[in-house]
Amino acid sequence: MIHIAAEVRAALADGRPVVALESTIISHGLPRPDNLRVAREIEAAVRAHGAVPATMGMVAGELTVGLDDESLTRLATSDDVIKLSARDLPIAAARGADGATTVASTSAVAASAGIGVFATGGLGGVHRQAGETFDESADLTTLARTPIVVVCAGVKSILDVGATLERLETLGVGVAGYQTTRFPGFFITDSGFELDWQLDSADQIARAWHAQRSYGVNPGALVVANPLPESQQLDPELHDRVLAEALAVVERDHVTGKEVTPVLLAHFHSATGGASLATNIRIILANAALAARIAVAAAKPAS
Ligand code: PSU
Ligand code: MN
């Protein structure tokens, strides 16, 4: 019942590189009207590095891998697009809804369609008040059982980064920095947390992934954390100030559940006068490019 676009299906059948892309960053993570332009730029970045993009979403109840431009436009501009985690997909389908996929749903659907690499901005994770609210993104538990390479700029800085890394460890999800052991903080280059591992090239990442798949020991994902260079990050002082404000807004307005992440990100984009938006776009484009290079390396016959 999953609709896979012809171009994506042909690439998968031929063993050519494909990169999965999510749509929640388009519908709920980035402000309009930039979101549609950015959605197209992400796909172009994947193509420029030799892979076929497969942006995921639900259109009138049809779960689609490889949205065409009309559907992409609909998800980027309609007011009735629901943020769909993996658990929501079947219910939304039965209701004929329009919806955007998160990291959890995108990775789960991509893996079941046979796609091995996925690019996003930042993972969901453990929220700062999780001790009381139990708010931990389903991204984490889904990645624990979903075989896919996920390229991200760490987890959103609005989260409890340390707790999220601990959860990823408990869940057995491999995490490596790309050319660094400093875990990125999404808008900022360095979250302050150190990783055990770094991987230095797309080829090396592809080899790690090949080993993970052939051992059959780790059922889940491999997370590749790709920091922005310092020259491209959001000013860390600005970042910390706006983050404190954003968290206060969520508390003041009693925002809960799946609204928390979009509200925090929207506050960032307005309070930084567009600086965080520009940073967010750089992050996604860089991750799309690296993911495409990994997919190309993974598609090469082993030498
Ligand atoms: N990171 C971003 N922008 C986003 C998201 C993550 O920079 O819009 C989205 C992703 O789709 C991620 C979701 O899966 O937020 C996590 O939401 P929650 O915390 O409600 O699980
Ligand atoms: Mn949540």
> Residue 136 gets which letter from DSSP?
B
Ligand 1 centroid–CA 41 distance in Å is 19
pLDDT computed for residue 202 by the predictor:
98
The model's pTM is 0.96
Here the tokens at position 258 are 């799946």
pLDDT digits (tens, 9 = 90+) for 95-140: 999 999 999 999 999 999 999 999 999 999 999 989 998 999 999 9
Catalytic residues: 22, 156
| Domains located in the chain, CATH noted | 2-299 (3.40.1790.10)
* Residue type at position 78: S
Average pLDDT over all residues of the chain: 96
The number of the ligand nearest the C-alpha atom of 261 reads: 1
200-222: burial string, b at 16+ Cβ within 10 Å, e else:
eebbbbbebbeebeeeeeeebbb
| Digit-coded pLDDT (tens) for 217-247 | 999 999 999 999 999 999 999 999 999 999 9
Whether the CB-CB separation of 67 and 23 falls below 8 Å is answered with yes
Model confidence pLDDT, tens digit, residues 69-106: 999 999 999 999 999 999 999 999 999 999 999 999 99
Q: How confident is the model at residue 303 (pLDDT cuts 50, 70, 90)?
A: low
Enclosing H/E stretch for 56: strand 52-59
* Ligand approaching nearest to the C-alpha of 158: 1
Residue 189 pLDDT: 97
CA 236 to centroid of ligand 1, rounded, Å: 21
Atom of ligand 1 nearest to the CA of 29: 8
pLDDT of residue 11: 98
Residue with the nearest Cα to atom 18 of ligand 1?
Answer: 137
User: Of ligand 1's atoms, which has the minimum distance to the CA of residue 122?
Assistant: 1
250 Cα to the center of ligand 1, angstroms: 16
User: Looking at residue 156, what is its pLDDT?
Assistant: 85
Per-residue pLDDT for 302 more than 90?
A: no
Mean pLDDT, rounded, for 23-44: 96
CA dihedral 183, 189, 192, 195 (to 10 degrees): 20
